Amino acid sequence: MTTVSASGKRVLLIIGGGIAAYKCLDLIRRLKEHGIGVRCILTTAGAEFVTPLAVSSLSAEKVYTDLFSLTDEAEMGHIRLSREADLVLVAPATADLMAKMAHGLANDLASTALLATDKPVYIAPSMNSQMWTHPATRRNLETLQNDGITIIPPGEGDLACGEVGAGRLAEVQDILSTVLQALKHDNPLQDLRGRKVLVTAGPTHEPMDPVRFIANRSSGKQGYALAAALAARGADVTLISGPTMLDCPPNVTRVNVETAQQMQTACAETLPVDAALCVAAVADWRPAQRATQKNKKSFAPAAGEEQKTQIDLVENPDILAWLSQHEHHRPSLVIGFAAETEDLLQHAADKLARKGCDWIIANDVSHVGDDAVMGGDNNQITILHRDGQDKWPRSSKTVIAEKLAARIAAQLGAMPE
Ligand code: C5P
Q: Choose which residue among 218, 282, 313, 366 to substitute to test ligand 1 binding: the one with the highest number of ligand atoms within 8 A of its C-beta.
A: 282
Cα 178 to Cα 184: distance, rounded to the nearest angstrom: 10
Angle between helices 23-33 and 52-59 (to 10 degrees): 10
Given this model, what pLDDT does residue 30 score?
93
All residues at 6 or more sequence positions from 335 whose CB lies less than 8 Å from its CB, including other chains: 275, 276, 277, 278, 357, 358, 359, 360, 361, 408
Distance 41 CA to ligand 1 centre (A): 47
Distance 359 CA to ligand 1 centre (A): 13
Find out whether 1 and 232 touch, Cβ atoms under 8 Å: yes
Given this model, what pLDDT does residue 58 score?
95
User: Rg (Cα) of the chain, in Å, rounded?
Assistant: 24
Burial class of residue 296 in the structure, from the number of CB atoms within 10 Å of its CB (0-12 exposed, 13-18 middle, 19+ buried): exposed
Q: Choose which residue among 263, 270, 320 to substitute to test ligand 1 binding: the one with the highest number of ligand atoms within 8 A of its C-beta.
A: 320
- Whether residue 278 has its Cβ less than 6 Å from ligand 1: yes
Distance 408 CA to ligand 1 centre (A): 19
- Whether residue 286 has its Cβ less than 6 Å from ligand 1: no
Cα 402 to Cα 229: distance, rounded to the nearest angstrom: 5
All residues at 6 or more sequence positions from 287 whose CB lies less than 8 Å from its CB, including other chains: 206, 207, 208, 214, 311, 312, 313, 314
Reference 169, options 225, 127, 117, 139; nearest CA is: 127
All residues at 6 or more sequence positions from 209 whose CB lies less than 8 Å from its CB, including other chains: 290, 291, 292, 293, 294, 295
Given this model, what pLDDT does residue 3 score?
41
The one catalytic residue in 40, 161, 267, 278 is 161
- Which parts of the chain have pLDDT scores under 70? 1-5, 67-76, 185-188, 298-301, 367-375, 416-417
In the chain the domains, ranked by start, together with CATH numbers, are: 10-183 (3.40.50.1950), 196-288+312-413 (3.40.50.10300)
3-state secondary structure 157-198: EECCCCCEEEEECCCHHHHHHHHHHHHHCCCCCCCCCCCEEE
The question of whether 161 is a catalytic residue gets the answer: yes
Given this model, what pLDDT does residue 2 score?
39
Share of the chain above pLDDT 90, in %: 60
pTM: 0.63
Angle, vertex CA 201, rays to CA 210 and CA 238, nearest 5: 110
Distance 342 CA to ligand 1 centre (A): 16
All residues at 6 or more sequence positions from 277 whose CB lies less than 8 Å from its CB, including other chains: 197, 198, 199, 200, 223, 226, 335, 408
